[in-house]
Structure 1
Amino acid sequence: MLSYENQIMLDVIHEDGLVIAAKGLGLERVFVSILKVYSDPGNLVLVLGTSSKEEEYFISQLESLDVKPLPKVITSELSVNERQLVYLDGGVIFASSRILVTDFLLNRIPSEHITGILVYKAHKVVESGQEAFILRLFRIRNKTGFIKAFSSSPVSFTAGFCHVNRVMRSLFVRNLYLWPRFHKDVSDCLNQCKPEVIELQLKQTPAMLSIQTACLDLIHYSTKELKKTNPSLDLEDISVEAALSKSFHKILQLQLEPVWHQLSSKTRQLVADLKTLRTILVSLTQYDCITFYNIVSSLRKAENAIRNSGWLLLPSFDTLYLQAKIRVFGESDQDEPELEENPKWTALGDVLKEVRDEDKEKREEERCRVLIVAENERTCNQIKEFLDVGARNLLMRLFKKVFLKKQSNKNNEKEETVSNPRLIVHPLQVIADPFALTKLLYTYKPDTIIMYDADLSFVRQVEVYQATNCEIPVRVYFMIYNGSSEEQSYLTTLRREKEAYEMLIKEKATMVVPEEREGRTELNQDLMRDPRKASEQLGWGSSAGTRQGGGPEATEQPLVVVDMREFRSELPALIHRRGMDIYPITIEIGDYILTPNICVERKSLSDLIGSLQSGRLYNQAQAMCRYYSKPILLIEFEHGKPFALRGQYFFSSDSSYKTQDITARLQLLTLHFPKLKIIWSPSPYATAEIFEELKKKRPQPTPEAAASITSENQPEFSTERFNSSLHDFLLKLPGVTHKNVFALLNNVKNLAELCSLSQEEISELLKNSFQGKSLFDALHSPLTSESGASSSGKGSKRFGDKKGRWNTKKARS
């Protein structure tokens, strides 16, 4: 390990805290070292926030260090008993948040014996999330174990809900350790053994410069129109420079999502257009002239011209399209297309020629190992083709494939490329394996690295790689277009990280952290069950932490039975925080059982749309109405997003499902199931408060009863089994109540048989002589109309089916 890595590890082992390191500085190497320290059967250490690929990487690294015992991974494939044995064996354990939450709640983990918890990707921890829930449960039951958190995303702590103070509160840590690239210890360490960097400032062609200028003009027009159309919104951060950033669309999404349903169609289109224009700008430096021309020409369709916000009709777009066409066909008519070569290809060819010339004087084993890194897999494949067939042949192949579609399949077939064992082309980001490039760097051990695309994180990775392998003199060729949007985007990323650290440093200097923040005493209010209103928990109301008025509190501890699948959402954590106990179990009917009679099926907006389209919601409503007297459909919106069914629902997805479709199908659902109640909730916080109100002064559910209700069982008190008209008719007769109506429905076949029963038999069924006499008299006493005519109770057979039967299944047969 490097000296600053050792210092990071010593700091966090000595005292719990949150470590925020700059991207690429090797925080994963520190994490592996900490896992090594705690990999001992005498410890029980849980790891949160890791993906399966990250777990594989950490275990493989520890295995290469001959660490025993290796960390264990708990998955859903393990039974409850097997999981308990794994916990008792000790060591480091990786497990999903969903498994750990249920095991904590059901006391399957020996909480008092847990040595501590390590949190990876701490910037993703929010107070209503599963990780924060686990940490709360841990701190409630264990006051001595440690909590150590790590993150390599400083910018995340300065935006949205991830402010550092809020995250540290959810993590129950007091100390903040900041390690930017400009930290003295980091700079001194990495400067001792620096790679040789050759920066290649490439010039864009005249056509590329014209296209870039035109595209920036269109972005400026769109941002100006966005601000002009929405003067009431705070859009100061929306600028041309911000549009060049990779995270631009996410920033715009955070700002506009709460009021998205209130925005005009023009504003929505402007947001979509800004994303399109940024794609065009990135494609200019990323792809070849033919691919770029295809992207631009596809926008000139009639439907796009009608739908867009007006920039397709501006002279700047005409310039953009014309220059894109010139790059392919040239300015004058000619038989052969001009096919402008990518300047980076030329520079890459020159660099590789220089490397080959140097290798001629070396022995085979001493020749350079070259690593070329590019933005994505598509660019890497194009680089491989260029190295194999040359620029002109590659462009001609693409030209024939796109514009001469009648060429034979032989001409369109891709030739096999030859993969030189001393030259590897690899993408910067691999979604399937986040450590793919890191593993390649340390196993292949290149001495020549060509950065085809600029990436801040990989630049630091190369610095760390050189510092740990000083015996390998590393040469880096850094390729970037001078004065381009690519260069500006790289500089903007660097500036934002610097500003984020400056903000974090100032906040750390002025931060007032109470001594009880770590939750090792009973004074920490975050560990108390909070019964405040949702508005107060979110900071919208008073901060009173006690209930006021409303009569005496229930002596019985409130309990909610929760389906295991619901632990993917925030709601269980918020229910527990409000003071209600939750019992996780697999239940077939419903998601939440609040009382023996109240069953709730929770649907997010996306779930609701999918359930309505597939018909699944109909079956779920039918099952709830059959087995519970008070079924509820809960439609829950996300916190910070519009609480309205107006216009399109999602910020940037294909929302072909309109408001009218949802409301129409919900109307049909309520007409078909009149007993089904619908609750609309603006956020999980509000849902937890609603649940508390619904449970007041009502009996608690039992997990065994909730689990025993399945579609195969026939409930005793189910109105769905009976003719609804006869059910309602019986309830209108004297002596029949909601409590005894099922005694009649379950024991008497039809109205004819009911009329044939004696008064004593009816009283025995109803278990009440007064109610039995009232019903018997109603059925057998003559009724006199105004005209004096009389009618007997036998006329009641006309209700229901022809034979007066009320069991619908028997009637159908």
Structure 2
Amino acid sequence: GISSGNGSSLHLEDGYDVNHDHQPVNDLVEIAHSHPDSDVDDADYCQAEDALTEIANEVAQPSHDCLTVLCEGLPCADLIISSIVRAQTLPTDLVLIFNLSNSMDSSKLSPTELYIQRRLASLSPPLLLSKVNSSLSASARQQMYISGHVFSIPLTTATLDLIQGVLPGHLIHGLVFLDAHNMVNGSKEALVMRLVSANPSGHTPFIKLFTSNTSALVSGYSRIEHVLTNAGISNVHLWPRFRVRLRDTLARSPIDNVNVFLTMTELQQQIQSSIEEVLQICLTEVQTSCKRYLSDVSFPTENLLASQHDIRIRRLLQSKWHSVGKNTKQLLADLALLRKLFFLLINVDCVSFYRFLLSIQQTPRSQHSQWLLTAPADRLFKLAKRRLYSVANDRLNVTLQANPKWSILREILDEIADDGIPRCGPVLVVCSDTLSCSNLQDYLQVGCQEFLQKKWKLLLLSLRFRKSDLEKGLQPPEDERSNIYAGKRVERRLLCEEFYRLQGKAEKARANTNRCAKGSSKGLTMGRKKQKTSCEPEAVTKGSKVTQKTLKDLFKQGCSRSSNAVVLEEQDDLPVMFWPKNQKSIPLSTINPMYAIVYDCDVGVMRELEVFKSQYPHFLHRVYTIVYENSIEEAVMTDRINRECSAFESLAQQIGHMVLSARSFALPTIEATSSRKGGNQIKDRQKVIVDIREFRSSLPGVLYESGIEIIPVTLEVGDYILSPEICIERKSVSDLIGSLNSGRLFTQLTSMKRLYQHPMLLIEFDYNEPFSWQQDLHEKVGLSSSSQICTRIALVAMAFPDCRLIWSRNPKVTCSIFLRLKAGHDQPDVAKAATISLDSEDVINDNNGGSYIAFDMLRRIPGVTSSNVAGLMSSVKCLADVLTLTRSSLTKVVGANSAANLLNFINADIAIS
């Protein structure tokens, strides 16, 4: 049923009011403020306009560089704006914002960027937010930097522009980093900070770091200390949901929360129990198989819904992953798959869930999943089938069980429509992903029966019936053995009859439509143009007649929300907007919803709605939350709250005992040991030419941290140039296997061999993977076994004997290898490296004295080897001279055996008898 009020058993509006043994809230706040560098005192506990203003009073102070850790769901867009404004930013000042958008399309502004752009433009004087990307020319980007303003810029683009001098570091007025938990050693964020500090200026730019990923900050060893050191700051502000100031501020304008607790259908409950039984069986098998690797680790089984055993076990086995058996790896994959089934059971319709189960059976790898042979798995498939149809007395009974949330969503929308409150905004429905948004939109447009019938037809179509299937199951079984499959043949025949029956109805409907379309084709065409097929957030109208506008049109209308936001055919229709919660944030201040329905419950979404209500009390009249009782979504939400609370407590204790370092970005200095050894002489920094595309990896940042000057250049051959003679092609493990499959590696090594004296292939492993070749990456890229990888690498070594293979454990080891390779060699020539291309023939002339085509041809002649080819080339001027050499001359140059093989090849009889 539906229960209204500010209190509920889930305590969504009270944040962390769950029963667990944690440190008192007041003690945690005291720990967070006890640091000597903290600027927070009792006077800061003042009354504020809204929750974000309360936070901004602490973290957005000018000349106060800090890391702000927010609880999940607190939007940081307003905090960014407050930080920029309070730093007295002028329209000509340069402010850079990183990680503001996670959109793959770098040319379009994300909803968060649009909101910040609108708010900055409304200031006096107005500030402009622009987006910078690599599609602009370097000169255009430089003019934009010099002119000032606020820019949302990718980390890679900023890194390249700072190194190449396109971005003047001394002009930067402020830096804002989102997802600050990624600012660890060797990261792109840390490299940007070092590059900015290497450009001294008359003023110090303000630095603001924001993150809401508390779990990442407490993972690893002293990660928060590494973040603060790389950023050069010493102030940390923790804002959990249970903090007194935030809790009291949000309580001034509480949301009217209506919690709708649903009970899953009987079949859904039985399916969930079957999945739990299978999960328990797999977990027992994993415990048995992992005893040799993890002897002292136990896996509790009392809360299987919220547990993430597959992730935990993989993390523990990461260092030993190369020695883990195939069966154990398959069991871990099964645990992840079974966990996914929990979510699909409550998120998708019955037909889609059953189709997913059938796909598991039909995949080739399913024969290795032993859980499919268990009794609970067999019961799982039968129960999922019963939600669709059943066979009794040679008849097919199609049931197509509806999702219980659908009818509740319809009832809530009807209740909102009859509420009588003036509508100045849409109804916001928050779903898990874009697919759920699209499915709910289709359900509201066509109804439950037609929506499921469409899915049912697609399922029957995927079974690929034939005319011969109609005759199967009609004859009685000849013996007992054939009687075992008689039921399946009858079932397939009935499904085939159902398929052709529905197909016949569809053909009749199309015929009737074509006859009726003769006098109204114009109207039908206009109707088709109004429909959308994309999964982007859309505004729809409840009912059969729907007209739509995209979200971009709603953004343009801003806060002046009215009934004109959606073109309605009837005044009583209700505008409904769907939004996937997997987006970075919801632009609530642009949508301005009057009602919100959290279809797939999420604690972060609830907090965003709380903050919006505190900012705009006249909007968001009521919030409905739909939750399945005793389901995975309830268990996961409670588990996330507990883990986040524990993470904040751990961070508060770390900050209380941490010795924070002062700001220092000095490059490593060269120590002078003795004047006799020339230690007082100024040594030039080592230089490495790096391909621009390599800045997507962490190796350039590690090289810069080691004091190596990196020079970005667009290279056609190789990735790293260490000297005029040394060229290195870097490959990660996955990239190497892909290059072996496509043959691209042979092309790259051939070009390097022709154009450089010392070509090298660097195979670099990652920090989080063992330094071993026995991995299961070959399964992802099409190789059946690790022996195939080794075989192909051996072929590479045989085909390119002059190419050296370098095996590196991680980027730090690669940096030390580079320094040793550069010892005794000249610095690379940037101008020459930039001009080398695949068509460059004059480069090889300087090194080997001839065309690379003639060299390759000579190298393939029998008797010519890598040890004697250089002497043979120095004794002749062209290939024709080789044919004129006598046996004695050849013997002196290449040896007796090689001379005999060469002459036998030249004088061989090729006449055809």
Matched residues in 1 for 2:827 and 2:56: separation? 48
Q: Which one-letter code corresponds to 1:62 in the other structure?
A: Q
1:153 aligns with 2:213: yes
Residues 419 and 167 from structure 1, CA distance in 2 versus in 1: closer, same or farther, beyond 3 angstroms?
A: farther
Contact 1:202 1:482 in 2 (8 A): yes
Matched residues in 1 for 2:692 and 2:387: separation? 58
Residues 79 and 295 from structure 1, CA distance in 2 versus in 1: closer, same or farther, beyond 3 angstroms?
A: closer
Contact 2:437 2:578 in 1 (8 A): yes
Q: Where do residues 17-416 of structure 1 align in structure 2 (5 Å cutoff)?
A: 17-36=66-85, 39-51=89-101, 52=106, 57-64=112-119, 65-67=121-123, 68-142=126-200, 144-160=204-220, 163-231=223-291, 232-233=293-294, 236=297, 239=300, 244=305, 251-300=312-361, 306-308=367-369, 310-329=370-389, 335-359=396-420, 365-366=422-423, 369-403=426-460, 404-406=498-500, 407-408=502-503, 411=506
Cα deviation, 1:714-762, whole Å, max 9, x if unaligned, reads 22223744223789979989xxx96x9866555896257789xxxxxxx
Please give the root-mean-square deviation of Cα atoms over the aligned residues, in Å: 3.8
Residues 677 and 242 from structure 1, CA distance in 2 versus in 1: closer, same or farther, beyond 3 angstroms?
A: farther
Residues 104 and 618 from structure 1, CA distance in 2 versus in 1: closer, same or farther, beyond 3 angstroms?
A: same
Matched residues in 2 for 1:560 and 1:302: separation? 48
Contact 1:599 1:632 in 2 (8 A): yes
Q: Where do residues 8-19 of structure 1 align in structure 2 (5 Å cutoff)?
A: 8-10=55-57, 11-14=59-62, 15-19=64-68
Matched residues in 2 for 1:158 and 1:112: separation? 34
Identity %: 27
Contact 2:390 2:396 in 1 (8 A): no
1:418 aligns with 2:545: yes
- Residue number in structure 1 paired with 2:615: 468
1:497 aligns with 2:644: yes
Match of 1:452 among 585, 590, 599: 599
- Residue number in structure 2 paired with 1:704: 831
User: Once structures 1 and 2 are overlaid, which stretch shifts more, 626-635 or 321-330?
Assistant: 321-330
Once the two structures are TM-superposed, the CA of residue 330 in structure 1 deviates from its matched residue by 5.5
Once the two structures are TM-superposed, the CA of residue 29 in structure 1 deviates from its matched residue by 2.0
Report SS of the residue matched to 1:358.
Answer: coil
Matched residues in 2 for 1:642 and 1:168: separation? 28
Report SS of the residue matched to 2:241.
Answer: coil
User: Once structures 1 and 2 are overlaid, which stretch shifts more, 319-328 or 237-246?
Assistant: 237-246
Report SS of the residue matched to 1:664.
Answer: helix
Matched residues in 1 for 2:865 and 2:392: separation? 91
Once the two structures are TM-superposed, the CA of residue 353 in structure 1 deviates from its matched residue by 3.1
Report SS of the residue matched to 1:115.
Answer: strand
Matched residues in 1 for 2:221 and 2:188: separation? 16
Report SS of the residue matched to 1:81.
Answer: helix
Match of 2:738 among 600, 610, 615: 610
Once the two structures are TM-superposed, the CA of residue 692 in structure 1 deviates from its matched residue by 0.8
- Residue number in structure 2 paired with 1:632: 760
Matched residues in 2 for 1:690 and 1:131: separation? 24
Once the two structures are TM-superposed, the CA of residue 8 in structure 1 deviates from its matched residue by 3.2
- Residue number in structure 2 paired with 1:480: 627
Q: Which one-letter code corresponds to 1:13 in the other structure?
A: Q
User: Once structures 1 and 2 are overlaid, which stretch shifts more, 169-178 or 37-46?
Assistant: 37-46
Once the two structures are TM-superposed, the CA of residue 116 in structure 1 deviates from its matched residue by 3.0
Report SS of the residue matched to 2:763.
Answer: strand
Cα deviation, 1:277-334, whole Å, max 9, x if unaligned, reads 11211111112223223333444459566310x3223222233223223333359666
Matched residues in 1 for 2:363 and 2:51: separation? 59
Cα deviation, 1:349-398, whole Å, max 9, x if unaligned, reads 33233333334xx6xx5488422222123323332333344434433443
Q: Which one-letter code corresponds to 2:608 in the other structure?
A: Q
Q: Which one-letter code corresponds to 2:72 in the other structure?
A: K
Residues 418 and 34 from structure 1, CA distance in 2 versus in 1: closer, same or farther, beyond 3 angstroms?
A: farther
Cα deviation, 1:49-94, whole Å, max 9, x if unaligned, reads 2334666742553335435341333322333333333222223233
Higher relative contact order (CA 8 A, sep 6+): 2
- Residue number in structure 2 paired with 1:724: 859
Residues 546 and 20 from structure 1, CA distance in 2 versus in 1: closer, same or farther, beyond 3 angstroms?
A: farther
Matched residues in 2 for 1:234 and 1:170: separation? 37
1:676 aligns with 2:803: yes
Q: Which one-letter code corresponds to 2:859 in the other structure?
A: S
Q: Which one-letter code corresponds to 1:563 in the other structure?
A: D
Contact 1:380 1:425 in 2 (8 A): no
Matched residues in 1 for 2:729 and 2:196: separation? 29
Matched residues in 2 for 1:13 and 1:642: separation? 45
1:750 aligns with 2:881: yes
User: Once structures 1 and 2 are overlaid, which stretch shifts more, 65-74 or 237-246?
Assistant: 237-246
Matched residues in 1 for 2:833 and 2:261: separation? 68
Matched residues in 2 for 1:465 and 1:142: separation? 41
Residues 354 and 320 from structure 1, CA distance in 2 versus in 1: closer, same or farther, beyond 3 angstroms?
A: same
Q: Which one-letter code corresponds to 2:401 in the other structure?
A: E
Residues 373 and 695 from structure 1, CA distance in 2 versus in 1: closer, same or farther, beyond 3 angstroms?
A: same
Matched residues in 1 for 2:610 and 2:400: separation? 38
Cα deviation, 1:749-797, whole Å, max 9, x if unaligned, reads 6257789xxxxxxxxxxxxxxxxxxxxxx959999x9xxxxx9x99998
TM-score, normalised to structure 2, is: 0.73
Matched residues in 2 for 1:426 and 1:235: separation? 47
Matched residues in 2 for 1:731 and 1:470: separation? 81
- Residue number in structure 1 paired with 2:790: 663
Matched residues in 2 for 1:658 and 1:342: separation? 44
Matched residues in 1 for 2:402 and 2:267: separation? 12
Residues 663 and 530 from structure 1, CA distance in 2 versus in 1: closer, same or farther, beyond 3 angstroms?
A: farther
Contact 2:863 2:902 in 1 (8 A): no
Contact 1:32 1:58 in 2 (8 A): no
Aligned residues: 737
Cα deviation, 1:516-544, whole Å, max 9, x if unaligned, reads 2x22xxxx6xx44399xxxxxxxxxxxxx
Q: Structure 2: where are the runs of 5+ without partners? A: 1-47, 461-497, 511-527, 532-543, 548-565, 567-573, 909-913
Matched residues in 1 for 2:215 and 2:360: separation? 34
Matched residues in 1 for 2:816 and 2:669: separation? 11
Matched residues in 2 for 1:187 and 1:84: separation? 45
Q: Which one-letter code corresponds to 1:128 in the other structure?
A: G
TM-score, normalised to structure 1, is: 0.81
User: Once structures 1 and 2 are overlaid, which stretch shifts more, 78-87 or 499-508?
Assistant: 78-87
Q: Which one-letter code corresponds to 2:701 in the other structure?
A: A
Once the two structures are TM-superposed, the CA of residue 460 in structure 1 deviates from its matched residue by 0.8
Matched residues in 2 for 1:367 and 1:730: separation? 83
Residues 562 and 148 from structure 1, CA distance in 2 versus in 1: closer, same or farther, beyond 3 angstroms?
A: same
Once the two structures are TM-superposed, the CA of residue 710 in structure 1 deviates from its matched residue by 2.1
Report SS of the residue matched to 2:771.
Answer: coil
